[in-house]
Structure 1
Amino acid sequence: MKRKFLIDVDTGVDDAQALMLALSIPDIEVMGITCVSGNVDIDQVCRNTLKVLSVCNRLDIPVYRGSSKSLVGKVLQAAHYHGSDGLGDSGLAKDMDLGLLQRECAAVAIVNLVNKYPGEITLVALAPLTNVALSLRLDPGFGNKLKEVFIMGGNTEAKGRVSPCAEFNFLSDPESASVTLQELRNIVVFPYELSFSCGMSWNWFDEWISQNTPKAQFNQAISHAIVHKQRVEKKSPFYRSCDLTAMALAVDKSLAIDTESVYATVELSGTLTRGQMVVDWNGCLRKPPNVTLVKKVNVDKARQMYNQMIK
């Protein structure tokens, strides 16, 4: 029997790669993809998601439009990194018809799918957690019916991405991140800093990106701008894709070769630390662990999946 995945995205370049990976695994059935504002606005996220499905010949998978703002109404986007269209300014998704979206909104779809298949669905959350928090408010018990949850987001060393101390997904909607960590169960967190130890050497990347298949050509087109930022502007010694690695972990948990169960929460009020994931390493809060943090990943094993996803 195939494993059932429900994937929540704000489709930029790394989300697109993560979706391509999930769709390439024979024993995974993607039950639905829910979209939320994040890297770009919600309509563009939906177009980008549909484009990935089109490239992978999987437009049969239902896509749901989700929240266009955080719970408190603020909007944080990353077009400066992912491009104004979220796909490296490739323009490849401009022809996608939003009429292909399901009528049901994302939060309702999440609740309905999880209630239809209790204990069977793995939720992979690669975006701001607004849709997930709204689902918890629609059905507070739905979290108990998930098989497991994988979250790409948060940070463990207070090293910020778009603020001094916070990672993008959690800073985009701190309240939703807080609700999610406190009210869901069986959570595995892939924190932002981990991506810096999960990169691909440029020699390996050059071979990977240059393969002559439609999927590889799409990957090359959407990655061009980010590759320039990482390789030329920041002079990174390797290419990294947060959501792609997080998806690899969700596909194969054995990739996690070092983990730790801890209590984690989210700072909501700090002037400089709002959105930071606060990890109670020493048990000062006297609360039981609520997340499993991934601390090290088998990168060589993950690369085998990356090669397969663009065949």
Structure 2
Amino acid sequence: MATKLIIDVDTGVDDSEAIMLALSRSNVEILAITCVNGNVAIDNVCKNTLRVLKVCGRLDVPVYKGACRSMVGTKKHAEAHGDDGQGDVMNPEPVDMSLMQPEHAVNAILRITDENPGEITLIALAPLTNVALALRLDPDFGRKLKEVFIMGGNIEGRGNKNLGAEFNFYADPEAAYITLHELKCPTNLLSLEAAEANGIEWEWYDRWVNMDTRKSRFIKAFSRKTAEFNRTLLKHPKYSPYDLLTMATAIDQTVITESVDEWCTVEIGGNHTRGQLVVDWENKMGNKLNVRIIKKVNTDKTKAYFMSMAM
């Protein structure tokens, strides 16, 4: 039986890769892709999502426009993805914006979940605004899902935006707080540190994007700017496929080789720590454990998935 997915995105370079991986798997059924403000403004998120579907020949997958700002009204965007979110590629594939569904993304999430009770795996690869709004509209929403996989947060207090927070949680701390506290289904989290520790070597990345297929050329074009930023400027030792790695753990949980269950919350105050994931490593609070933190993956398996999606 196919795994039924709703994918919530702020497409985005790594979101584009994650969508491509999901589309490549015959055992996955994508019921919706929902868009939210994040890496770039919401209209570019929608456009980039449709572009991925067009290149992959899957414009049958419905795409919904969601929240255009955070729960408290701010708009945070990432820099490394380019102004358009897909690396500012010259002459990008044109898309037909009339293909966007008229229903709001949050309403679509709630409707599809109600139509498939206990069957939906939600993949949250963006600021969690749409998810938090769904929880506010239907307090039982978090019980109706089968499972949730989140790319976000940082377990070592080392931020990639402010001093203490990872971008997705930093962009909407209130939404992240609501989500972790109010989801009542199995919740899995791939942190900033796990994505970086389980990345892929640059030599392997070069082979991946130079396979000379339509999909690999597309990946190379939209990831070039981000790859150069991380490889040359930040001197990261590996390419960190944040959302792509999260998707791999969701579609095949045997990829996960080490994880821990912990109680987690999100700091919503503090000049330097707003948006930071807080983990009760020693269970000092005595709360029910609410998050499985993914720490290590089988990189041989993930690389096989990544290679097959580009063919």
Partner of 2:246: 246
- CA–CA distance in 2 between the matches of 1:121 and 1:53? 21
Shift of 1:307: 0.5
Could you tell me which residue of structure 2 aligns to residue 210 of structure 1?
210
Per-residue CA deviation, residues 241-265 of structure 1 (Å, 9 max, x unaligned), is 1011111111111111111110000
Task: Return closer, same or farther for 1:44/1:181 CA change in 2, 3 Å cut-off.
Answer: same
SS at match of 2:121: strand
Note the alpha carbon deviations across 1:201-240, whole angstroms, 9 max, x for none. Answer: 1221111110111111100100111111122112222211
- Offset of 1:97 from its aligned partner? 2.3
Instruction: Give distance in 1, aligned partners of 2:91 and 2:180.
Output: 35
- Please state whether the residue corresponding to 2:223 is helix, strand or coil: helix
**Structure 1 partner of 2:17:** 17
Query: 1:5 is paired with a residue of what secondary structure?
Result: strand
Q: Return the alpha-carbon distance in structure 1 between the equivalents of residues 119 and 17 of structure 2.
A: 24
- Give the superposed CA RMSD: 1.0
Match of 2:262 in 1: 262
Structure 1 residue 145 corresponds to structure 2 residue 144 = yes
Aligned equivalent of 1:183? 182
3-state SS of paired residue (1:82) = coil
For 1:66 and 1:170, locate their aligned partners in 2 and report how far apart those are by CA, in whole Å. Answer: 17
Matched, 1:231 2:231: yes
SS at match of 2:64: strand
**Does residue 289 of the first structure (1) align with residue 289 of the second (2)?**
yes
Q: Secondary structure at the match of 1:263?
A: strand
2: CA distance between counterparts of 1:40 and 1:19? Answer: 17
Paired residue for 1:276? 276
Deviant stretches of 4+, over 3 Å: 91-94
Q: Distance in 1 between matches of 2:101 and 2:90?
A: 23
Q: Are the equivalent residues in 2 in contact too, given 1:64–1:106 (CA < 8 A)?
A: yes
Secondary structure, counterpart of 1:67 in structure 2: coil
Secondary structure of the corresponding residue to residue 80 of structure 2: helix
TM (norm. structure 1) is: 0.98
How many residues end up aligned between the 2 structures? 310
SS at match of 2:15: helix
TM-score, normalising length from structure 2? Answer: 0.98
Q: Name the amino acid aligned to 1:129.
A: L
Q: Unaligned 5+ residue runs, structure 1?
A: none
SS of residue matched to 1:215: helix
Q: CA deviation at 1:199?
A: 1.4
Is the 8 Å Cα contact of residues 3 and 251 (structure 2) preserved in structure 1? no
Counterpart Cα distance in 1 of 2:202 and 2:136 = 44
- Check the 8 A contact 1:47/1:94 in 2, yes or no: no
Q: Supply the distance in 2 between the matched residues of 1:118 and 1:221 (Cα, whole angstroms).
A: 39
- Residue aligning to 2:36: 36
* Amino-acid identity (%): 49
Separation in 1, partners of 2:285, 2:90: 48
Q: CA deviation at 1:282?
A: 1.0
Q: 1: CA distance between counterparts of 2:21 and 2:279?
A: 30
